[in-house]
A and B are shown apart, each in its own frame.
Chain A
Amino acid sequence: MRRRITALDGIAALLILLLIVQVWLLSATLDAFLAGHSDAALPGAITSGVIFAAAAGLYRFVQRIDRAG
Chain B
Amino acid sequence: MIKLDEKKDKIRSDSLWRDEFSVFLERERFVGRRQLIKFLTLTSLGMFVGNVWILVRSWLRRDQTFPRQKIAFAGEIPIGGVKLFRYPTPQEQCLLIRTGEDDYVAYSQKCTHLSCAVFYSSGDNQLICPCHNGRFSIRDGAVIQGPPTRALPHVVIERKGQELIAIGMSGKLEG
Chains A and B form a bound pair? yes
Q: Which residues of A are in contact with B by a Cβ distance under 8 Å?
A: 1, 5, 8-9, 11-12, 15-16, 18-19, 22-23, 25-26, 29-31, 33-36, 38, 41-42, 44-45, 48-49, 51-52, 55-56, 58-59, 62, 66, 69
On whether A19 and B44 interact (CB within 8 A), knowing A8-B33, A8-B37, A45-B54, the answer reads yes
Query: Of A34, A45, A48, A62, which is within 8 A of B174 by CB?
Result: A34
Which residue on A lies nearest to B175, using beta carbons? A34
Residue B40, interface by CB 8 Å: yes
Is B160 on the interface with A (CB-CB < 8 A)? no
Q: Assuming A33-B57, A52-B44, A55-B40, what are 7 further A-B pairs, CB within 8 angstroms?
A: A8-B37, A12-B40, A34-B174, A38-B61, A48-B47, A52-B48, A62-B37
Residue of A nearest to B50 (CB): A26
Q: Which residues of B contact A33 (CB under 8 A)?
A: 54, 57-58, 174
Does B22 count as interface, using CB distance less than 8 angstroms?
no
- Chain A residues touching B, majority SS: helix
Contact yes or no, B51 A29, CB < 8 A: yes
Which residue in B3, B36, B40, B54 is a CB contact (below 8 Å) of A41?
Answer: B54
18 contacts between A and B (CB under 8 A): A5-B30, A8-B33, A11-B37, A12-B33, A12-B36, A19-B43, A19-B47, A22-B47, A26-B47, A26-B54, A29-B54, A33-B54, A33-B174, A35-B151, A38-B62, A42-B55, A44-B55, A48-B47
B134 at interface by CB-CB < 8 Å = no
Q: Contact between A41 and B38 (Cβ–Cβ < 8 Å)? A: no
Contact (Cβ within 8 A) A55 B55? no
Q: CA of A34 to CA of B1 in the docked complex: distance in angstroms?
A: 52
Indicate whether A59 sits within 8 Å of B38 (C-beta atoms), given known contacts A34-B112, A41-B54: yes
